[in-house]
Amino acid sequence: MKTEVNPQDTNSPMLVVTLTKTFDESKLNRTLLTQALIKFLAGIILTGLLVFLPAGSFAYWQGWLLMGVLFVPMFIAGIFIFVKNPELLRKRLNAKEKESEQKAVVALSGLLFLISFVTAGLNWRFNWWMLPDLAVWTATGLFILSYILYAEVLRETVLAADLHGYKEYQARVNYKLIPFIW
């Protein structure tokens, strides 16, 4: 005697397993989305404080421009990763550098960003050195162009991770951020 499982049968073990898996994945994705949004909003708030407190005003239009070109593409890239490869987003949100050289690069980058944002706000407040609007818009265009290049790298990363699995891809792509730090 052969027993077959009917997927239409609500008492079917196959259906229960499928529903449980879907529910668990949905719960994990909801948690991931919440974690990503919290970090994103914290980044907006922190950057806003670093830019607008030293500027002493919200009338600092270049600060708003910076916030826009920094966070709008970041949000779009985050949605792309969330939809295409949630595991990659999870890894990126929980990334902790293991190598001392990479830890140093991340720490110095963070310090550089902190100094840059605070200095930009102070520069606007005290009129130390004002760039012509053309220079501001040109720099904005270059910034957006760099984000487009980043998006292409991100797309290739997601595709490679989909094709080969993230762990295998990560093992094959072992590079340093700065060539002279080995």
CB within 8 Å of 111: residues ≥ 6 apart? none
Domain boundaries, the chain: 13-172
- The CA angle 88-155-35, to the nearest 5 degrees, is 35
CB within 8 Å of 99: residues ≥ 6 apart? none
Confidence at residue 127, expressed as pLDDT on a 0 to 100 scale: 93
Residue 111 has pLDDT above 90, yes or no: yes
Confidence at residue 9, expressed as pLDDT on a 0 to 100 scale: 55
Which tops the pLDDT comparison, 133 or 77? 133
Closest to 170 in 3D by CA, of 87, 84, 81, 73: 87
Residue 64 has pLDDT above 90, yes or no: yes
Which of 24-33, 122-131, 144-153 has the lowest average pLDDT? Answer: 24-33
Tell me the residue ranges of DSSP E strands in 5-144: none
CB within 8 Å of 44: residues ≥ 6 apart? 67, 71
Measured from the Cβ of residue 52, the count of other Cβ atoms closer than 10 Å reads 19
Confidence at residue 69, expressed as pLDDT on a 0 to 100 scale: 95
CB 150 within 8 A of CB 77: yes
Which tops the pLDDT comparison, 26 or 64? 64
Q: What is the mean pLDDT of the chain?
A: 80
Closest to 91 in 3D by CA, of 175, 179, 171: 171
Residue 145 has pLDDT above 80, yes or no: yes
CB 121 within 8 A of CB 43: no
**Mean pLDDT value of segment 17-45:** 77
CA-CA distance, 29 to 134, in Å (whole number)?
43
